[in-house]
């Protein structure tokens, strides 16, 4: 009964196909559509986020990321080879004449192609991966030590043995290894500079270490890589790799107080002290010694305001002071109503700090 119904259904299906005009029945349309889809997918994978200049692991600027980059390409080409071989077998199987496979043959095929070869491939990749991990451990030779403390949502940066303190910006000498110790003041964060080093977590109650080594001078963007609250995305920083002499000059400059020279700067400094900015911020050489917010002693020279939230220019700084909550909601800085007559000099003073 069931068989008869199936046969009737089959006959019906054949009847339906025959009723479709030959123009629509043919395979070329389907093949074309499949081809177009494959091409579109290939173009999509090639064209997505591959500018080559962004903070990508595949654009390494340091010896740490170069190892990750090599591992990535090794795995990529192995995957390509495996994919091509499997596809070739699939095509060969679909076009060759069928013949009965003996039981012994099948067992050998499964043991070799299904177990031995995949095991060898995966074991080699695992071995290379372990070697890369070991080499990414803290190296013995270092020329600079940097202390980084993660806060919601900014990075405090200190250079032990000097009075240089900055925020959201780490200067290192190019070609030398900087040892970075990582702590958190609140929740879990993760320190990541894709072009220089892998991610290292900042865990409450622990001190972790990583290292930075840049092969060429430049600016390498870093990012918090562990969700840490509403402004996690705006917890970026910049690693500035510069020549040894430039780095030494920067370190000296950053450790010294900036003396206001012009009348506007002097008045701006008075406004800064009057507004009690110092209850949260520190500026070397002034009465401001707060530790809640970032140290502002080098503010004028930094790459951004609010850890990547806005460009560092007078307009954005003015807006940030008036109400930073519109730029970076839920950050700890409350709005500061500064009289218009004082704001310009305050900005001039803050932008002179370097």
Calpha distance 273→288 (Å, rounded):
7
* Binder of ligand CUA out of 189, 213, 281, 302 (CB under 6 A): 189
Residue owning tokens 């450790």: 255
CB 201 → ligand CUA: shortest distance, Å?
A: 10
Q: Which is nearer to ligand CUA, 173 or 308 (CB)?
A: 308
Q: Which is nearer to ligand CUA, 226 or 242 (CB)?
A: 226
CB of 232 to ligand CUA, least distance (A): 4
Asked if 296 and 287 touch (Cβ cutoff 8 Å), the reply is no
**Smallest separation (angstroms) from ligand CUA to the CB of 235:** 4
Give the per-residue contact string, 37-76, with ligand CUA (x = CB under 6 A; - = no): ----------------------------------------
Pairing of strands 154-158, 144-151: antiparallel
Shortest Cβ 311–ligand CUA spacing (Å)? 21
User: Any idea what DSSP says for residue 48?
Assistant: T
- Determine the Cα–Cα distance for residues 196 and 239; give it in Å rounded to an integer: 9
Identify which of residues 148 and 235 has a Cβ nearer to ligand CUA in the complex: 235
| C-beta closer to ligand CUA: residue 71 or 228 | 228
CB closer to ligand CUA out of 220 and 247: 220
Residue 67 tokens, joined: 């190892």
Q: Whose Cβ is closer to ligand CUA: residue 231's or residue 297's?
A: 231
Helix (H) or strand (E) holding 237: strand 236-242
Q: Is 161 exposed, middle or buried (0-12, 13-18, 19+ CB in 10 A)?
A: exposed
Asked if 146 contacts 178 with a C-beta cutoff of 8 angstroms, the reply is yes
Site for ligand CUA in 117-176 (CB under 6 A): 150, 153
Instruction: Output 252 or 332, the one with its CB closest to ligand CUA.
Output: 332
Peptide bond into 153 cis (omega under 30): yes
Q: Look up residue 116 and give its DSSP letter.
A: I
User: Closest CB to ligand CUA among 155 and 349?
Assistant: 155
DSSP letters for 117-131: HHHHHHHHHHHHHHH
- Spatial distance between the Cα atoms of 7 and 13, rounded to a whole number of angstroms: 10
Cβ at position 20, least distance to ligand CUA in Å: 57
Q: List phi, psi (to 5°) of 143.
A: -115, -20
Q: How many residues does the chain have?
A: 354
Of 251, 336, 335, 340, give the one whose Cα is nearest residue 298. 251
Residues 221-240 that bind ligand CUA (CB under 6 A): 224, 226-228, 232, 235
What is the closest distance, in whole angstroms, from the C-beta atom of residue 29 to ligand CUA in the complex? 50
Number of residues that bind ligand CUA (CB under 6 A): 9
Which lies closer to ligand CUA via its Cβ, residue 189 or residue 213?
189
Angle CA 311–315–320, to nearest 5: 75
CB of 186 to ligand CUA, least distance (A): 9
- The single-letter DSSP state of residue 37 is H
* Minimal distance, residue 150 CB to ligand CUA, in Å: 6
| Least distance from ligand CUA to the Cβ atom of residue 228, Å | 3
Options 141-149, 220-228, 259-267, 302-310: segment touching ligand CUA (CB under 6 A) = 220-228
Contacts to ligand CUA by CB under 6 A: 150, 153, 189, 224, 226-228, 232, 235
């Amino acid at each position: 009964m069931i068989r008869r119904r199936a046969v009737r259904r089959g006959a019906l299906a054949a009847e339906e196909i025959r009723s479709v005009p030959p123009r629509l029945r043919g395979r070329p349309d389907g093949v074309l559509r499949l081809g177009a889809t494959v091409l579109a997918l290939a173009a999509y994978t090639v064209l997505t986020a591959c500018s080559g200049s962004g903070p990508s692991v595949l654009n390494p600027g340091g010896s740490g990321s170069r190892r990750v980059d090599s591992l990535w390409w090794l795995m990529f080409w192995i995957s390509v080879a495996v994919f091509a071989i499997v596809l070739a077998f699939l095509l060969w199987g679909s076009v060759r004449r069928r013949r009965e496979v003996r039981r012994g043959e099948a067992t050998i095929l499964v043991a070799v192609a299904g177990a031995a070869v995949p095991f060898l491939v995966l074991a080699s990749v695992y071995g290379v991966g372990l070697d890369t991990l070991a080499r990414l451990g803290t190296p013995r030779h270092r020329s600079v030590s940097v202390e980084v403390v993660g806060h919601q949502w900014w990075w405090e940066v200190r250079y032990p043995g000097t009075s240089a303190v900055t925020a959201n910006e780490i200067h290192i000498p190019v070609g030398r290894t900087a040892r970075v110790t990582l702590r958190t003041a609140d929740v879990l964060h993760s320190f990541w500079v894709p072009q220089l080093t892998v991610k290292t977590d900042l865990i409450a109650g622990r001190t972790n270490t990583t290292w930075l080594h840049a092969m060429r001078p430049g600016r390498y963007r870093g990012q918090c890589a562990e969700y840490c609250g509403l402004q996690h995305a705006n917890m970026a920083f910049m690693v500035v790799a510069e020549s040894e002499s430039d780095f030494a000059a920067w370190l000296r400059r950053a450790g010294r107080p900036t003396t206001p020279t012009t009348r506007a700067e002097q008045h701006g400094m008075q406004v800064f002290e009057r507004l009690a900015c110092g209850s949260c911020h520190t500026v070397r050489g002034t009465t401001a010694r707060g530790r809640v917010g970032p140290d502002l002693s080098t503010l004028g020279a930094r790459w951004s305001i609010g850890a990547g939230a806005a460009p560092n220019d007078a307009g954005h700084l003015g807006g940030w002071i008036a109400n930073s909550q519109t730029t970076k909601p839920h950050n700890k800085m409350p709005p500061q109503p500064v009289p218009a007559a004082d704001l310009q000099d305050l900005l001039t003073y803050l932008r002179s700090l370097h």
